[in-house]
Amino acid sequence: MTDDNRKNIIIFLLVMAFFTGATIQLSEGSVLIGVVMFLIALALTSKIKLSGEYITKTSKFYIVIGAFIVIADLAYNLKAMNQLGTIDSMTFFLGLSFIAYGMSNEQYRRMGDFGIYMSGTFLVLYLTFYSLLPSMDNNFIHYFDHYFVLLPSLFIAGLFSNFDIHLVAIETVHLSGFEDATIVIGGPCSGLYSMFLLIGIIVGYTKMERLRNLRNIALLLILAIIVAYVANLIRVAVLYNVAYYYGVEKMMFVHVYLGWIIFIIISCGIMMVLNKSH
C-alpha cells in the first residue's frame, strides 16, 4: 500500500464521517453544524490523490445545469417554507458537483466527479424507495421497518436488558422506564439512508479511481449493505436502552451522533478493501 493510498483511506473516512454527520444534522440536529460539516467534507475531496487523468477544460453546460439545480432546490424550499433535510442536502450537493465538474481546475473537476456519482446514486435510491414505491401503494418501507428493523432490534435489546417495552403499532414501541415514552421506528432509524450514502460513496470512489473489477465491487457493495444493516440494528437497540434508563431527550441527543460515528467505524474496513481492489 503506497503512501498516497494510505492518505486516500484516511481522507475518505473523514469525508464519509462529515457527509453522514451533515445529513443527520440537517434533518434532525443543527442546520448550522450540518452546513459546516458539509463544506468540510466537500473541501476534503480535493485532497484525494487519484490515478486517473482529467481533461481540464471548462464546460459551461455543466455549470449551468448545476446552478439550475441549486437555485431550484433553494427556491422550492423557500416557497414551501420547508426545513432542509437529507434529500435537500444531496440535491444541493449534486448541483454544486455539476458546477465543480464544469470548471477547468483539475481538483474541482475531481470533486465534481465524485459528488455527481455519490449524490446521484443516493438520490436515485432515495426516490425509488421513498417516492416511487409509496406512489404505487407499496408498503415496502413499513414492512421493512417492522420486520427487518423494529422486531430484530427488540430481540437484540432483549438479549442484554430486561425492561418493559412492547409493540403498540407496526412501527411504534412503548416503554416505561425513566419516563413513559412512545418511540416511532422509521425514516433514519431504518438505516436505509446510511446504506444509500455508503453505496453512493463506493460508486463515486470506483468511478474516480477507474476500478474495473465489477465482481469485487459487487461483493463489496453486498458486504457494505449487510454490515450497515447489522450496525443499524445495534444502534437502535442502544437507543431503546438510553430512552429507558435516561429518557427521550438523552436518546435524541445520542440518536443524532451515534449513527454516523458507528458508520465511520465500520467504513474503515470497507475502504481498506476498496483500496486493495485495484
In whole angstroms, give the CA distance from residue 97 to residue 81. 25
Looking at residues 72-80, what average pLDDT do you find? Answer: 74
Q: What is the pTM of this model?
A: 0.78
The C-alpha cell at 138 is 407499496
Q: What percent of the chain has pLDDT over 70?
A: 74
CB atoms within 10 A of CB 173: 20
In whole angstroms, give the CA distance from residue 200 to residue 202. 5
pLDDT of residue 121: 92
CB atoms within 10 A of CB 137: 6
For residues 74 and 273, which has the higher predicted lDDT (pLDDT)?
74
Would you list the DSSP string of 132-183?
IHHHTT--HHHHIIIIIIIHHHHHHHHHH----EEEEETTEEEEESSSEEEE
pLDDT digits over 3-57, tens only?
555 566 567 667 766 776 776 666 666 777 777 877 787 777 667 665 555 555 6
**Three-state DSSP state, 184:** strand
- Calculate the average pLDDT of the chain: 77
Looking at residues 240-250, what average pLDDT do you find? Answer: 86
pLDDT of residue 125: 92
CB atoms within 10 A of CB 125: 17
Gyration radius of the chain's alpha carbons: 20
Looking at residues 93-119, what average pLDDT do you find? Answer: 82
pLDDT of residue 1: 46
